[in-house]
Amino acid sequence: MTEPLLDSTLLKKLDRLAILTRRAMAGDIQGERRSPRRGSSVEFADFRPYTVGDDIRQIDWNLYARAERFYLKLFVAEEELTVHLLVDTSASMDWGTPNKLRYARQLAAAFGYIALSNLDRVTVTAFGASGSGSQHAAALPGVRGKRGAVPLFGFLQRLSPSPGGDLGKACHRYIQTARTPGPLLLCSDLLDPGWKDALSALSSRPFEITVMHTLAPQELEPDLDGDFKLVDVESGTPVEISADLDLLRRYREHLAAWRAEVESFCSGRGITYLPVDTSVPIEEFVLGRMRRRGVLR
């Protein structure tokens, strides 16, 4: 029997959380979030002059008594958001202990469940490549409400790794088809030479992007000694190395510089960057780190 992505104890804790958005976004239908549009909720937003055809029930008669002109009361509309979950399913993600792809599926499940609990719409897209090498993206078009958790979790459970892929091209295609921008969570190890192009593409539209830079502890602190032949899981190219203290020191320096570069690149584009170590329990990461960084509240 397949192990569930999230246990019931964690789900109860997630019920008390919400996705924190930095600005109001227009959604599709009435929901529970502030929208930049004006609606008919009870929260006052502004006045505007009356024009022929407006609903006279919205006229503020007290203001008319003072100004002798007709003004309408405007109220904040409350609409649902579309929350976008992007999961990298390239072969490099299917590695490490704990496995990076499983951890990414858990992150997406937690974020998506929180959105569904707040009556937001959730879409999921997994980027990879088919066996022939052509690009494809498995997608869950959109679910809403807590009943949407079942198809959400089922979709994420069925995701499998695929060789090849191009993250930059995948993100370019995504921004061309995504109809309603909203909070966007990208779970990826970014081990793709086109990661800058991918993030630039996503930031070209008004998504509120959070990048979960997912790496395994064996990548963060490799425990190697002696001569090895390493094989690139994406290309199959072998590389022979002699692991010693100096090589490991240089590896850690390059890794730290690369993560700093990604963080700086994200910061310059208003993207929230969260480095992920898959050895950290998922509950600790979601309830602790994601809340401290202001992704959740």
- Residue 1: pLDDT above 60? yes
Q: Could you report the per-residue pLDDT of 109-145, keeping only the tens digit for each?
A: 999 999 999 889 999 999 875 433 444 568 998 998 8
Whether 74 is in a domain gets the answer yes
- Same-domain pairing of 287 and 188: yes
Percentage helix, strand, coil for the chain under 3-state DSSP, each rounded to 5: 35, 30, 30
pTM here is 0.81
Identify the pLDDT of residue 55: 73
Whether 99 is in a domain gets the answer yes
pLDDT > 70: percent of the chain? 85
Instruction: Match 């609990």 to its residue by tokens.
Output: 117
Q: How far is CA 65 from CA 41, 44, 59, 83, 196, in A?
A: 24, 19, 11, 45, 58
**What are the residue ranges of helices labelled H in the chain?**
8-14, 61-67, 100-117, 149-158, 167-177, 195-203, 217-220, 245-267, 282-284, 290-292
- Same-domain pairing of 153 and 264: yes
Whether 2 is in a domain gets the answer no
- Same-domain pairing of 65 and 194: no
Domain that holds residue 239: 8-24+80-292
- Same-domain pairing of 195 and 240: yes
Parallel, antiparallel or unpaired: strands 238-243 and 183-188: unpaired
Whether 260 is in a domain gets the answer yes
Region 165-171: what's the mean pLDDT? 91
- Same-domain pairing of 65 and 104: no
Identify the pLDDT of residue 91: 92
- Same-domain pairing of 167 and 243: yes
Q: Could you report the per-residue pLDDT of 176-233, keeping only the tens digit for each?
A: 999 899 999 999 999 999 999 999 999 999 999 999 999 999 999 998 888 888 888 8
107 C-beta neighbours (distance < 10 Å), count:
26
State the average pLDDT for the chain: 86
- Same-domain pairing of 104 and 178: yes
Token pair of 64 as six digits: 């008319």
- Same-domain pairing of 239 and 125: yes
Residue 210: helix, strand or coil by DSSP? Answer: strand
Using only the alpha carbons of the chain, give its radius of gyration.
Answer: 23
Instruction: Kindly write down the DSSP assignment for every residue of 237-293, as one continuous string.
Output: -EEEEEE-HHHHHHHHHHHHHHHHHHHHHHHTTT-EEEEEETTS-HHHIIIIIHHHT
- Same-domain pairing of 130 and 93: yes
- Same-domain pairing of 205 and 123: yes
- Same-domain pairing of 159 and 242: yes
Number of domains in the chain: 2
Whether 52 is in a domain gets the answer yes
- Same-domain pairing of 258 and 171: yes
Whether 3 is in a domain gets the answer no
Q: For the domain that residue 193 is a member of, what is the CATH number?
A: 3.40.50.410
